[in-house]
Chains A and B, each alone.
Chain A
Amino acid sequence: MTTDGRILPLQMRDASFRAGGRTIIDRISVEIASGPSSIILGANGAGKSVLMRLMHGLLAPTSGEIGWRETDPDKRRRQQAMVFQRPVLLRRSALANVTYALKVARVPRREREHLAVDALESVGLLHLAHRPARVLSGGEQQRLALARAWALHPEVLFLDEPTASLDPSATREIERVIRAFDAAGTKIVMATHNLGQARRLGDEVLFVHLGRLVERAAVDEFFSSPASPEAAAFIKGELPWT
């Protein structure tokens, strides 16, 4: 998998998002480049999910700009994928869920099946290919969502608290898959409030607090000597759990 950066870098300039009278994202300016996996860290309600959706294009900023290197929206969409906290799967087999995503991306019919099979294999779900997706366990469903995202080999993979609803062993499996995707060259942008996970998976941390980007640093630096008081408090206040 190449990282020729076709759509990256992502540029956000003074992007804000207001809804229901509240400012949820407050003038964030940031550049996301290819390479290191980026963890968006913050407490619940800090605005991580909204920030991810702004980046991915599910929400439009109420002010400011968000731009990628690629301007064509279809090409842009094609190089991104997102995995949500709760996987939304269709009432079809696991394999059919993946081929559906390929179909939407207009991959020719002949290629869909084997790409889907490869994707399922990469997350260890090939033996469940014909099982109805909705009867899979939580961890299996999330792996399927990852396979579906992976099948198109996107340049950027967004993950919004992907293990928040899973038990520890399922969490471990998901993290293994994410690490594999990262090693294969996909840009990982992941939101989490789990400090241990951030340390395990991230190369850099973007710390968000009350809708503002407060600190950005390499992961080791962030945890050993956080520059901002908010980050320090966050690290201290959160009880890390595996």
Chain B
Amino acid sequence: MSALWEAVQGALGLILAGDPTLGGIVLLSLEVSLSAVVCATLLGLPLGAAIAVGRFPGRRAVVVLLNALMGLPPVVVGLFVYLMLSRAGPLGALGVLFTPGAMVLAQTILVLPIIAALCRQAVEDAWVEYEEQLRSLGARGPGAALTLVWDIRFSLLTAILAGLGRASAEVGAVMIVGGNIDGVTRVMTTTIALETSKGDLPLALSLGIVLIGLVLALNAAALYVKDAAQRRYG
């Protein structure tokens, strides 16, 4: 218990010291995870809505698959993306391995099923309420689904935050495709892994608390924005 308290103090010390290296690592972590969440949202919301509203053969199987993909192991995704982006692989000519771009790609793949599956559930539930009215107005298919997604946007925020949580917490994928290169692809989670492997457990724990604090702050900010907007739109 005292180790935890010391780690909290260590975390505060780290934040107050304002070390530029740590600052750079935090900034990169935010850039990578937020970019991945944005990409996954742009792709996942329409995908989830389409599956929720669509009727096609094999739909049940698709829903099961999408739900299962929420549990994709990060290290497996990392390995897959690495093999794709390696010079020896199909997309090697792009030369994005060991860059933040590769990390964004890997995390987008990880986060996409989470956002799509949760969106599908939310849209499916809302569709029960909205379907008749939308069809009566003549709204059909993709247009109706997107209207619905926008209308339930506040409940979808939770899905997006779930994706953000997953992205900022994972280390397996970014470690493999990023290489944990000092100053280039080193993020909070890989730094924590590195310090742990160097035996500097107190520092690793303090960094962990900084990371948790960061994600907490992001969630609080998101909730605040949501509440303000909800009051405006009802």
- Chain A interface (Cβ < 8 Å from any Cβ of B): 53, 56, 58, 74, 77-78, 80-82, 84, 88, 90-92, 100-101, 104-105, 132-135, 148
- Chain B interface (Cβ < 8 Å from any Cβ of A): 129-130, 132-139, 143, 147, 151, 153-154, 232-234
A80 to B135, CA, bound (A): 12
A77 to B130, CA, bound (A): 18
A74 to B138, CA, bound (A): 8
Top 4 A-B residue pairs of the complex, sorted by shortest distance between their CB atoms: A132-B234, A134-B234, A88-B133, A82-B136
Query: How near does chain A come to B12, taking the closest CB pair, in angstroms?
Result: 41
Which residues of chain B are near A81, meaning CB under 8 Å? 136-137
A77 to B151, CA, bound (A): 23
Counting chain B CB atoms within 10 Å of each CB, the highest count among A56, A82, A91, A132 belongs to: A91
Which residues of chain A are near B232, meaning CB under 8 Å? 132
Q: Is the CB of B139 within 8 A of A104?
A: yes
A152 to B137, CA, bound (A): 10
Which residues of chain A are near B135, meaning CB under 8 Å? 58
Identify 16 new A-B residue pairs, CB closer than 8 A, beyond the known A80-B136, A81-B136: A58-B136, A77-B138, A82-B136, A84-B132, A84-B133, A84-B136, A88-B130, A100-B137, A100-B147, A101-B137, A104-B138, A104-B143, A105-B137, A132-B233, A132-B234, A133-B234
Q: Is the CB of A88 within 8 A of B234?
A: no
Identify B138's interface contact among A53, A105, A133, CB under 8 A. Answer: A105
Q: Is the CB of B136 within 8 A of A56?
A: yes
A84 to B143, CA, bound (A): 21
A-B contact count (CB 8 A): 45
Which residues of chain B are near A88, meaning CB under 8 Å? 129-130, 132-134
Q: Is the CB of B132 within 8 A of A90?
A: no
Which residues of chain B are near A90, meaning CB under 8 Å? 147, 151
Which residues of chain B are near A101, meaning CB under 8 Å? 137
A92 to B148, CA, bound (A): 12
Counting chain B CB atoms within 10 Å of each CB, the highest count among A53, A74, A88 belongs to: A88
Q: Is the CB of A92 within 8 A of B136?
A: no
A53 to B133, CA, bound (A): 11
Known: A77-B138, A78-B138, A104-B139. A92 touches B132 (CB 8 A): no
A58 to B133, CA, bound (A): 9
Query: How near does chain B come to A158, taking the closest CB pair, in angstroms?
Result: 8
Q: Is the CB of A91 within 8 A of B136?
A: no
A92 to B135, CA, bound (A): 18
A82 to B132, CA, bound (A): 10
Provide 26 A-B residue pairs closer than 8 Å at the C-beta atoms, listed in order of the A residue. A58-B136, A74-B138, A77-B138, A81-B136, A82-B136, A84-B132, A84-B133, A84-B136, A88-B134, A90-B147, A90-B151, A91-B151, A91-B153, A91-B154, A91-B233, A91-B234, A100-B147, A101-B137, A104-B137, A104-B139, A132-B232, A132-B233, A132-B234, A134-B233, A134-B234, A148-B137
Query: How near does chain A come to B227, taking the closest CB pair, in angstroms?
Result: 14
A91 to B138, CA, bound (A): 18
Which residues of chain A are near B132, meaning CB under 8 Å? 53, 58, 84, 88
A78 to B233, CA, bound (A): 28
